[in-house]
Amino acid sequence: MDHSFPQKVLEHLFSFIDSNKDRNAISLVSKSWYEIERRSRKKIFIGNCYAVSPTTVIKRFPELRSITLKGKPHFADFNLVPDGWGGYVYTWIEAMAVSVPLLEEIRLKRMVVTDESLELIAKSFKNFKVLVFISCDGFSTDGLEAIASNCRNLKELNLQESEVEDLSGDWLCYFPDSYTSLVSLNISCLNNEVNLSALEALLGRCPNLQTLCLNHAVPLDKLPSLLSQCPQLVELGTGVYSTEEMHPDVLSSLITAFSGCKQLKSLSGFWNVLPSYLPALYPICSRLTSLNLSYAIIQSSDIVKLIGQCPNLLRLWVLDYIEDVGLEAVAASCKDLQELRVFPSDPSCLELNNALTERGLVSVSKGCPKLQSVLYFCRQMSNAALSAIAQIRPNLTRFRLCILEPHTPDYLTLQPLDSGFGAIVEHCKDLQRLSLSGLLTDRVFEYIGTHAKKLEMLSVAFAGDSDLGLHYVLSGCENLRKLEIRDCPFGDEALLANAAKLETMRSLWMSSCSVSYGACKLLGQKMPKLNVEVIDESGPPDSRPDSCPVEKLYIYRSIAGPRLDMPGFVWTMGDDSSRKLELDVAGVEAQFRNL
Amino acid sequence: MEVVVGMKKEKMEFDETELRLGIGSTKASEEVVRKRGFSETENHDDDDDENTTMDLMLNLSSKEASGEVDPNDKIKNLQKEKTLLPDPAKPPTKTQVVGWPPVRSYRKNMLAMQKSSTNFGDESEKNNAISFVKVSMDGAPYLRKVDLKMYKSYSQLSDSLGKMFSSFTIGNCESQGMKDFMNESKLMDLLNNSDYVPTYEDKDGDWMLVGDVPWEMFVESCKRLRIMKGKEAIGIAPRAMEKCKNRR
């Protein structure tokens, strides 16, 4: 059948297929399809930078133009992964600089980037267009200078939530006057002031600019003049949203500026909000589809006044200052809402907050028929509320609930929240991502293993009673790709019994659990396609009995073998020594035979 | 154990890849975990200053342990010990668990920054501001970060630093010297030794010796830490003394 379809026809057909999932499927059909597909694939997504080596990727996909790489485990976001763990992008850049000179896009998440990497990118890829660093670190504004100076065709520079050593705001000046191709700029993570006149000039000469996310150092009175340079903006992140004292002039120029942005659909920023400036947004509220107020310290009444005018909101991120009453207003006004995130304003305070409870989430679930994605921090929850949410919103695909105090039971019945989460997985059949919290026994894992068949990512903390819990998940969740666990009494049994499952997943993280060093070694020895990494800052696990539990464990499948860039507190299990020695000996023996 | 039997029924299809450690390993690991306590809840009671990392954990749990425990309740006790949650009748204390609740540092810092600058909320909220500072050690290949608000005294900080950098320094010694890391005095030598001196950069940009000023003052003014080789720190001591005199 393959021979009857000329290669060119297949190539043409495949060119319509964009999604990596589909392309992966195509590549499995036959050898010739694999070959044709690999030679035409332009976009690669690598969920774990250690799963495969740069050389392998480049060899297989010679027409590579766009690469996405993820580095550190997700729990690195919460400081559970010590600095120096890894996730360095340099070797990738180095390899691509040599073999993929036409590379156009690099998107990274949780990786360590250095100024050297940035300089290498700047000088190696003549047609470079997109640079996105989400939650990355390791570089400074010096590296940005190199990018600005050299990347003539740059369209996107996005440093979202990265940690940048901010040496000078002048890096922006390095964009030459002839540079006009900017489409998206996100510098919200920078701490210092950027050169504002350079920024204004840049905005003025880039007619295709659609996204601009400023940092908090950009004063509010500068915003109108910046906006007047790019009224075609679709997405704006403000700088600080206040002045020392309220100035009516600033307010009126803001109103004018915002009204001039006819395409503006998405707003974020809002650091240090002075509520009297919020009315400047009223003229554009009806167009807004995305609103991020999650850094805005403002009272519920102010939030409600704003949101009440945003009937087309699809996405809302907000702090718990919104309170239940505010969420009721959301439920009433935002009938198209798809995603809600409510963040804690004071995460370390454990006092009960009666203003933002489970009731807010229930209201939004009831009032917003298109709600799919939820991230909700609160201090109390009940099984009744969770059941209600599950039954009325079976279309949920992402449900992350964080009850601030670990082990909090149903506040009405004092029972574990097993049945509530059980209802979620039972009714929400397309659930892809779930985060658990509160008092939970092994039973919740039984429900998850039984029902959560589409679940791809599960986050667990302070839950479960025994290995049975882990076993239910590993044996039941067919589509599980990422599992991250902290502070649960899960040990060796379930892990070892489900070792094969681990090869079907991207990764497993376990910290402060009860997995012994001996089990890790065994797993590492028996499962060559897994990298079993033990992270232990209290010293080499070899110096303690095998039965000692390891601090942290990160297991991921890889065809690249154990990595070579581990710091002193990370050990790969079942690697080198014995096997390597065997190979060396075999090699020497072979040589002798040839003599 | 009932748990194991139940699981055996369910894992039949994985017989081929079933891996076992051997009888008795489960119990042993439970025992050790109990002893280990909850290493990430840095509940800094007044532990002995000389504790190494291992000793610290053992002492902590022996204080928490409630005497003889029925083996069947081991796991439940394990959970209780791990959380170190107070009696519900007592007012909620601020237990500082690493990485919980799961809020990104970026977000925490942004909120803390706003709160401290606008005086929004009461004093206790200001005090909750996260205080991450970078820690570098001369000769170490990578930086670390610590949250100074996690500690209540210099000795707690130095314990933690010793733990953090021990893996590097032990790597420096001969590998046979690994057993030495269990020796508490060797670890403390690291920081008490004239070879290494902990210093910090304060708000004015000056480099000071760690330990000169009261702990709270140190936390407020410390911007970054550097564990220097002794020779380089010589110029710092006299200046530090002067600064303190001027402040008081």
* Residue carrying the six token digits 């036409």: A102
- The per-residue pLDDT for A170 is 92
Which of B21, B75, B115 lies at the smallest CB-CB distance from A522? B21
| Residue B116 CB partners (closer than 8 Å, separation 6+) | B126, B129
* Partner residue opposite A514 with nearest CB, options B19, B29, B120: B29
Average pLDDT of the residues in A377-404: 97
Single-letter code of the amino acid located at A127: N
- What angle, rounded to 10 degrees, do the helices at A383-392 and A358-367 form? 10
Cβ contacts of B87 on chain A, cutoff 8 Å: none
**Cβ contacts of residue A199 below 8 Å, gap of 6+?**
A172, A226
Three-class SS of residue A318? Answer: strand
> Most distant CA pair in chain A: distance in Å?
92
Q: What pLDDT, on a 0 to 100 scale, did the predictor assign at position B192?
A: 52
CA distance A187 to A171: 12
Under 8 Å between Cβ of A11 and A41: no
Per the CB < 8 Å rule, is B103 touching A500? no
A478 interfacial to chain B (CB closer than 8 Å): no
Give every strand in the sheet of B207-209, ordered side by side.
Answer: B144-147, B132-137, B222-229, B196-202, B207-209
| Bond prior to A62 in cis (omega within 30° of 0) | no
- A351: pLDDT strictly greater than 80: no
* Cis bond upstream, residue B101 (ω within 30): yes
Q: Check residues B141 and B20 and name the one with the higher pLDDT.
A: B141
Largest CA distance in chain B: 74
Look up residue A267 and give its two tokens: 């707003």
The answer to whether the beta carbons of residues A289 and A316 sit under 8 Å apart is no
Query: What is the least distance, in Å, from the CA of B240 to any CA of chain A?
Result: 27
Nearest to A493 among B26, B79, B96 (CB): B26
ipTM of the complex: 0.87
User: Among A85-89, A122-126, A440-444, B64-68, whose mean pLDDT is lowest?
Assistant: B64-68
Distance CA A566, CA A580 (A): 18
Q: What is the dihedral of CA A270, A274, A277, A279, to 10 degrees?
A: 90
Asked if A331 and A363 touch (Cβ cutoff 8 Å), the reply is yes
Cα–Cα distance for residue pair B239/B212, rounded to 1 Å: 11
| CA–CA min distance B105, chain A (Å) | 7
Is the separation of the CB atoms in A396 and A371 below 8 Å? yes
pLDDT of residue A195: 93
Chain A interface, best mutation among B4, B17, B23, by max A CB count within 10 A: B17
Contact A491 B120 (CB under 8 A): no
Instruction: Mutate one of B1, B5, B7 to test the A interface: name it (highest A CB count within 10 A).
Output: B7
What gap in Å lies between CA A250 and CA A220, rounded to an integer?
8
DSSP letters spanning A2-52: TTTS-HHHHHHHHTT---HHHHHHHHTT-HHHHHHHHHH--EEEES-TTSS
Instruction: Tell if the CB–CB gap between A348 and B17 is shorter than 8 Å.
Output: no
* Block residue for tokens 């600033």: A250
**What pLDDT sits at residue B242?**
52
Distance in Å, alpha carbon of B111 to nearest chain A alpha carbon: 6
Report the distance separating Cα A371 and Cα A395, nearest Å. Answer: 7
Residue A37 confidence (pLDDT) above 60: yes
The DSSP output letter for A321 is G
> A370-379, A406-415, B2-11, B53-62: lowest mean pLDDT where?
B53-62
Read off the tokens for A521: 């070694």
How large is the C-alpha radius of gyration of chain A? 26
Mean pLDDT of the A452-462 span: 98
B242 backbone dihedrals φ, ψ, rounded to 5°: -60, -45
Q: Are strands A507-511 and A552-557 parallel, antiparallel or unpaired?
A: antiparallel
Query: pLDDT tens-digit profile of A573-589?
Result: 986 544 444 444 544 55
Residue B228 pLDDT: 80
Q: Do the Cβ atoms of A83 and B144 come within 8 Å? A: yes
pLDDT, mean over chain B: 57
Supply φ then ψ for residue A127, to 5 degrees: -110, 30
How close, in Å, is residue B25 to chain A by CA atoms?
6
Digit-coded pLDDT (tens) for A501-552: 999 999 999 999 999 999 999 999 999 999 999 999 888 898 999 999 999 9
How confident is residue B39, by pLDDT bands cut at 50, 70 and 90?
very low
| Cβ-based neighbour number of residue A114 at 10 Å | 17
Of A540, A543, A549, the CB nearest to B36: A549
Best of B23, B33, B175 to mutate (most A CBs within 10 Å, chain A)? B33
Q: Is B15 left (phi over 0), alpha (psi -120 to 50) or beta?
A: alpha
Q: What's residue B117's pLDDT?
A: 65
| Rounded-to-integer distance, Cα B141 and Cα A366, Å | 53
A370, A397 Cβ separation under 8 angstroms: no
A435-464 residues touching B, CB cutoff 8 A:
435, 459, 461-462
Q: Spell out which residues of chain B touch residue A538, defining contact as CB-CB under 8 Å.
A: 39, 53-54, 57, 163
Q: Write out chain A residues lying below 8 Å of B28, CB-based.
A: 516, 545, 547
* Cβ atoms A223, A242 nearer than 8 A: no
Q: What percent of chain A has pLDDT over 70?
A: 96
- Burial label, A580 (beta-carbon count in 10 A; 0-12, 13-18, 19+): exposed
Q: Which of residues 500-539 of A touch B (CB under 8 A)?
A: 500-501, 511-512, 514, 516, 518-519, 522-523, 526, 537-539
Chain B: residue nearest A493 by CA? Answer: B20
If you measure CA to CA, which chain B residue comes closest to A272? B114
Nearest to A377 among B7, B101, B166 (CB): B101
Which candidate, A400, A332, A389, places its Cα nearest to that of A358? A389
Residue B72: predicted pLDDT: 45
CB contact under 8 A, A493 and B16: no
Residues in chain B: 248
pLDDT, greater one: A499 or B184: A499
A/B interface, count of CB pairs below 8 Å: 225
Q: Are strands A184-186 and A211-213 parallel, antiparallel or unpaired?
A: parallel
User: Inter-chain contact A567–B39, Cβ cutoff 8 Å?
Assistant: no
Residue A129 identity (one-letter amino acid): K
Residue A538: per-residue pLDDT:
86
Q: Are B181 and B187 in contact (CB under 8 A)?
A: yes
Q: B168 near A568, Cβ under 8 Å? A: yes
CA distance to partner chain A, nearest, from residue B242 (Å) = 30
Q: Tell me the two tokens of residue B94.
A: 């601020």
C-alpha dihedral, A585 to A587 to A588 to A590, nearest 10°? 120
CB crowding B191-213: b at 16 or more within 10 Å, else e: beeeebbbbbbbeeeebbbbbeb
Chain A interface mutation, best of B114, B128, B223, highest count of A Cβ atoms under 10 Å:
B114
Pick from A271, A377, A518: CB nearest B114: A271
Measuring CA to CA, which residue among B127, B130, B89 is closest to residue B108? B130
Gap from B180 CA to chain A (nearest CA, Å): 10
Tell if the CB–CB gap between A404 and B95 is shorter than 8 Å.
no
Determine the pLDDT at residue A530.
96
Query: Across the interface, do A545 and B97 touch by the CB < 8 Å criterion?
Result: no
Cα separation of A265 and A246, whole Å?
A: 26
Q: Which residue of A has its CA nearest to B12?
A: A497
Question: Is the CB of B19 less than 8 angstroms away from the CB of A82?
Answer: no
Residue B143: count other Cβ atoms within 10 Å of its Cβ: 15
Average pLDDT over residues A138-145: 96
Token digits of residue A549? 């539990």
SS3 A230: coil
| Of A300, A244, A402, A347, nearest in space to B109 by CA | A347
Of A258 and B145, the one with more pLDDT: A258
Q: Name which of A373, A484, A319 is nearest B103 in CA terms.
A: A319
Q: What is the separation of C-alpha A541 from the centre of its chain, rounded to a whole number of angstroms?
A: 31
For A176, counting Cβ atoms within 10 Å of its Cβ (0-12 exposed, 13-18 middle, 19+ buried), the class is exposed
Residues in chain A: 595
For residue B230, the Cα-to-chain-centroid distance in whole angstroms is 25
* Segment among A80-89, A151-160, A483-492, B216-225 with least mean pLDDT: B216-225
For residues A343 and B126, the model is more confident at A343
Tell me B184's DSSP state. Answer: H
Contact A538 B54 (CB under 8 A): yes
DSSP output for A254-275: HHHHHHH-TT--EEE--BS--G
Rounded Cα–Cα distance for residues A327 and A371 (Å) = 13
Query: Is there a contact between A532 and A520 (Cβ–Cβ < 8 Å)?
Result: yes
The more confident residue out of B11 and B147 is: B147
**pLDDT at residue A424 tops 60:** yes
Q: Å from B248 to nearest chain A CA?
A: 33
Cβ contact (<8 Å) for B21 and A466? no
